[in-house]
C-alpha cells in the first residue's frame, strides 16, 4: 500500500516538474535586460529626440529593473549614431531619433555601410510633429500664396537645418508642387537657421513648431503655413499647406524607438507595451504636447508600414532635387 502511494506521489512530482521546468527555463531565457541598456540618440543633447529619450529612460528603468542610459552620438543626419547602435551587436542597445534616419537618409547618403530600414526594427513611433513655414517680417509675404508669387518674380532663398533634414525636404516637396524654385541655404542644425531668420539675414524656411512659437508671439517671425494635414491647436489661425492651395500635401514626421534587427520579437513587443503604457500617462502626454508633439505609441507593425510609405514618398523628392551625399 505504501509503495503504491509513493509511486503515485512520484508520478505526480514528475508531472509537476515536467510542467514547471520548461516554464522556469523560458523565464530565464526571457529575463531581459541582464545589464544596463544604452539608448543611442544620434543627435545632440537638448534636441527633441534627446529630451524624449531622457523622458522615457526612467519609465523603462522602473519597468525592467535595469538602468537605461542615454548616449548622444550626433553626426551625418543620424548615421553616426545608427552605426554605433549596430556596432554594439547586442540586444542591450536601443535607438531613439527622428524617422528621417530611416525614411530619407538611404536616398541621400549613397555610401552607407548599413541599411537603416533592414538593419533596424521599429519598436514604436513615439510622437508625430509638424513644421511651420515662417519668414522674417521684411519678406513681403503674409500668406503662402504671397511667398510663391514673390519667388516667381525674384530670386529668393530659404534655410534649413541641413541637407536631407525635414525642413529641407518639406520645402522641396512644396516647391515641386508649386513648380517654382528657391535657393537652399543649409545650416549646421535648425538653431542657426532660426537665429539668422530672426536676425533678418535669412528670408524663410520650415522649422519645428516648438522652436518658432516664441518668435511668432513676439512678432519676430511670420507664420505662413503648417506642413501637416491639419491645423495646430497652438496656431489655429495658420492654415495648412493643403488648405493654401496644394491639396493632399502632408509632411508629417515622427520621433521613434528602434532596435537592431537581432532583437528578439518578444522583447520588441514587450518594449512596445511598456513605452505605450508610459506615453499614456497624463504627465508625459502633457510634456509632449508642450513640445508641440502629438503622442502616437503605435505598434511595431503600424510603425513599419508608416515608415515604408514615408520612405517611398521622400524618395521621389530626393530624386527630384538630385540629392546625393557620400
How confident is the model at residue 9, as a pLDDT? 58
Task: Answer yes or no: is 274 within a domain.
Answer: yes
How confident is the model at residue 29, as a pLDDT? 46
Distance CA 201, CA 216 (A): 17
In the β-sheet with 37-41, what is the strand arrangement from edge to edge?
68-72, 37-41, 93-98, 253-260, 120-129, 294-295
Statement to judge: residues 288 and 142 lie in one domain = no
What residues make up the domain containing 61? 37-129+254-320
How confident is the model at residue 21, as a pLDDT? 44
Statement to judge: residues 169 and 102 lie in one domain = no
- Per DSSP bridges, beta strands 222-226 and 131-135 are antiparallel
Task: Answer yes or no: is 238 within a domain.
Answer: no
pTM score of the predicted model? 0.83
How confident is the model at residue 25, as a pLDDT? 41
Statement to judge: residues 41 and 121 lie in one domain = yes
How confident is the model at residue 191, as a pLDDT? 85
Can you tell me which residue has the cell 543649409?
Answer: 186
DSSP 9-70: HHHHHHHHHHHHHHHHHHHHHT---SSPEEEEESS-TTSHHHHHHHHHHHHHHHHHSS-EEE
Task: Answer yes or no: is 240 within a domain.
Answer: no
Task: Answer yes or no: is 209 within a domain.
Answer: yes
| Helices and strands counted in the chain (H then E) | 13, 11
What are the residue ranges in the chain where pLDDT is below 50?
16, 20-29
Statement to judge: residues 203 and 147 lie in one domain = yes
Amino acid at each position: 500500500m505504501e509503495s503504491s502511494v509513493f509511486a503515485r506521489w512520484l508520478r505526480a512530482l514528475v508531472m509537476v516538474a515536467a510542467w514547471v521546468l520548461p516554464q522556469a527555463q523560458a523565464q530565464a531565457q526571457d529575463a531581459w535586460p541582464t545589464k544596463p541598456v544604452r539608448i543611442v540618440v544620434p543627435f545632440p543633447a537638448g534636441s527633441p529626440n534627446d529630451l524624449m529619450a531622457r523622458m522615457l529612460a526612467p519609465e523603462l528603468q522602473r519597468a525592467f529593473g535595469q538602468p537605461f542610459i542615454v548616449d548622444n552620438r550626433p553626426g551625418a543626419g543620424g548615421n553616426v549614431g545608427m552605426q554605433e547602435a549596430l556596432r554594439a551587436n547586442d540586444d542591450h542597445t536601443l535607438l531613439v531619433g527622428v524617422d528621417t534616419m530611416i525614411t530619407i537618409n538611404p536616398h541621400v547618403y549613397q555610401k552607407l555601410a548599413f541599411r537603416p530600414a533592414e538593419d533596424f526594427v521599429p519598436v514604436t513611433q513615439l510622437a508625430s510633429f509638424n513644421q511651420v513655414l515662417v519668414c522674417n517680417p521684411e519678406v513681403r509675404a503674409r500668406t503662402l500664396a504671397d511667398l510663391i508669387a514673390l519667388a516667381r518674380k525674384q530670386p529668393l532663398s530659404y534655410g534649413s537645418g541641413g541637407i536631407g533634414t525635414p525642413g529641407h525636404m518639406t520645402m522641396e516637396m512644396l516647391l515641386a508642387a508649386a513648380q517654382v524654385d528657391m535657393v537652399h541655404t543649409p545650416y549646421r542644425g535648425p538653431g542657426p537657421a532660426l537665429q539668422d531668420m530672426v536676425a533678418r539675414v535669412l528670408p524663410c524656411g520650415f522649422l519645428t513648431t516648438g522652436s518658432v512659437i516664441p518668435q511668432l508671439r513676439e512678432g519676430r517671425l511670420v507664420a505662413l503655413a503648417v506642413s501637416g494635414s491639419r491645423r495646430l491647436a497652438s496656431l489655429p489661425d495658420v492654415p495648412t499647406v493643403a488648405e493654401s492651395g496644394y491639396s493632399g500635401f502632408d509632411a508629417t514626421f515622427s520621433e521613434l524607438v528602434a532596435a537592431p534587427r537581432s532583437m528578439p520579437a518578444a522583447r520588441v513587443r514587450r518594449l512596445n507595451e511598456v513605452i505605450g503604457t508610459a506615453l499614456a500617462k497624463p504627465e508625459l502626454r502633457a510634456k509632449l504636447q508642450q513640445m508641440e508633439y502629438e503622442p502616437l505609441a503605435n505598434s511595431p507593425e503600424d510603425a513599419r508600414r508608416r515608415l515604408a510609405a514615408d520612405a517611398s514618398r521622400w524618395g521621389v523628392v530626393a530624386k527630384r532635387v538630385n540629392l546625393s551625399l557620400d
